[in-house]
Amino acid sequence: MQSRIAALFLFSTAIIVAQDKQLRADLPAVPRYEVKRAQGRITVDGKIDEAAWSNAPVVEFVFPWANQTGAKQKTRARILWDDQNLYVGYQADDADVVAHYTERDDPTYKDDCVEIFINPNPKQLEFYYGLEMNARAVMYDYFYAFPKLLIKRLNFTNWQLATFTDGTLNQRGDVDKGWGLEVAIPWENFEELTGKKTPPAAGTVWTANMNRWDGVEPDRRLSQWSDSGMVRADPHWPARFGEIVFVK
């Protein structure tokens, strides 16, 4: 088994090196985010209105690809932690909230959707977790041995996920205001890459990226926290994940 993993690691690394030629020039440095401890309880309802969230730094997503035709609608995200969970909250401006998929592991990235990719072991780049969640609070989660193997059968456990829509879901032609999403992820879901060292100690650094797929084809747009640097709109480039550092 170890030899197979080592072979997969070498194969993935070789492809990453080969794909470097697809990156755009003059990219900014990857961002860094201080994940603060939640000072109070968070009720996972999609509204991002608890006092605890006010202590979390807010990041606004960028729009790296000028050739996309969808509207540039703002997305703001925050991250918190406590001894039980990692919390991620999103607030998305959206004049037309659309999400059709309803079953676990459906292709939620085709809907109005937010994502977080998480690598708890930055000493390696190839292995990370992906969570892609649509405006109906449907989860698509997986383990990615980038870029060779995406393991869809991985299912996170005991998580909480909720959305809130300020408008009418799937009602085309009216004008919505937006939607929010909150997810609470218990630490045990990351144990494959942390060696069961969870929750992380203060000062621990992981890498991650947060993304949003927005709009209906052909007017669809991808925005991100950390610019993946890819020539074409693609969020999956682990070498460009931002750093998240856990602080008290």
Residue 96 pLDDT greater than 70, yes or no: yes
Average pLDDT for the chain? 92
Q: Go through 102-119 and write b for each residue having 16 or more CB atoms within 10 A of its CB, e for each that does not.
A: eeebbebbbbbbbbbbbb
User: Which stretch of 34-38, 147-151, 187-191, 195-199 has the lowest confidence by average pLDDT?
Assistant: 195-199
- Confidence (pTM): 0.91
> Does residue 169 contact residue 98 with C-beta atoms inside 8 Å?
yes
Q: What whole-number distance in Å separates Cα of residue 30 and Cα of residue 209?
A: 10
Q: What whole-number distance in Å separates Cα of residue 228 and Cα of residue 232?
A: 10
Which CATH number is correct for 2-246, 2.60.40.1190, 1.10.3720.10, 1.10.10.10, 2.60.40.740? 2.60.40.1190
CB atoms within 10 A of CB 204: 17
pLDDT digits (tens, 9 = 90+) for 160-186: 999 999 999 999 999 999 999 999 999
Q: How many CA atoms lie within 13 A of 231 on its CB side?
A: 5
Tokens of 42: 């968070």
Q: Which amino acid, residue 185?
A: I
Q: Which amino acid, residue 181?
A: L
Residue 212: strand pairing partners: 114, 223
pLDDT digits (tens, 9 = 90+) for 100-132: 999 999 999 999 999 999 999 999 999 999 999
Q: What whole-number distance in Å separates Cα of residue 47 and Cα of residue 137?
A: 13
Residue 29's φ and ψ, nearest 5 degrees, are -65, 150
